[in-house]
Structure 1
């Protein structure tokens, strides 16, 4: 609810768009669906510094299971007027993150926000999950699929 203000402050949620009651309910349902399906999650879950992302992760996976990564604010800035050098640097780091393997049998989770059209993973729907198979550092990754909250709840 609300809008991200021009001078947003990550320590002050009143300067940001926050989760609605529907968003809170969706975050809880998301966590419940993954637990019901026995999806093994690598802890800590990563969250963007935006209040809405931190709250989503905490509601879905538990407050103590979340680590905030300020890099995701740089990803958000891809939709703003930044230099090509800043954009390239952010996209290179993003590529590296998508290539990183997680411990065998686990799934990494990032609670963040949509990308600008045609950048990164592109625009994402609310509570949409993009499943990525990493091939390791400098070896790329493959997008396996995109899953909506309702699909998780239907036990895809």
Structure 2
């Protein structure tokens, strides 16, 4: 039986919203610039950052090897500039960054280094785009970040699939979500503010 046009239209609208990086959110969910920086200054934040802009593509080319950046989808020049802008903005606003963890993918480690000057690779935030380890990794992240308290801020540079699993929301490339842990029983991180710099 042919598919009715209404479900297809809804699917396309949803897909376009995701492609826009979550830009089509209700106004009530939008946070002001001041809220974003104010939350970070207060501390106790888990900062989720999707890697900056990359060359065109989805996922990685066949033959991906984590130790070899030439086999991966990497940042483009605009993405490198974007990551540097993030670091400049955090410095300008006087934001405390206590620890930076990154996925092992080169587009994430480069984003972390350009933005914050350092990173530690942390396996629970590696991409699970093509495997079924997502729920286990998400639980590991939620358990670990439950202890983050003010004035400490923890930055996690990772991928869309990871951030969406942790929050239920879709980030654009380079977008930053400000979250706070909901305690050890929480199954999601609540997004308090979000911004592309």
Structures share fold, TM-score greater than 0.5:
yes
Separation (CA, whole Å) in 2 of partners of 1:61 and 1:109: 9
Deviations 1:88-129 (A, max 9, x none): 322322322442314x31211111111279633342101111
Two-structure CA RMSD over aligned residues (Å): 2.3
Q: Which runs of 5+ in 2 are unaligned?
A: 1-54
Equivalence for 1:46: 101
Q: Max radius of gyration: which structure?
A: 2
State how many pairs are aligned. Answer: 139
Q: Kindly indicate whether the alpha-carbon contact (under 8 Å) linking 1:115 and 1:124 is maintained by their aligned counterparts in 2.
A: no
1:80 aligns with 2:130: yes
Q: Which runs of 5+ in 1 are unaligned?
A: 150-156
1:60 aligns with 2:115: yes
1:110 aligns with 2:163: no
- The one of the two structures with greater contact order (alpha-carbon pairs below 8 A, sep at least 6) is 2
Q: Kindly indicate whether the alpha-carbon contact (under 8 Å) linking 2:142 and 2:186 is maintained by their aligned counterparts in 1.
A: no
Q: Give 3-state SS (helix, strand or coil) of 2:153's partner.
A: coil
Separation (CA, whole Å) in 2 of partners of 1:81 and 1:56: 23
Question: CA separation of 1:130/1:13 partners in 2, compared to 1, >3 Å: closer, same or farther?
Answer: same
Equivalence for 2:190: 142
Q: Kindly indicate whether the alpha-carbon contact (under 8 Å) linking 1:27 and 1:56 is maintained by their aligned counterparts in 2.
A: yes
Separation (CA, whole Å) in 2 of partners of 1:136 and 1:93: 13
Q: CA deviation at 1:52?
A: 0.7
1:30 aligns with 2:76: no
Equivalence for 1:93: 140
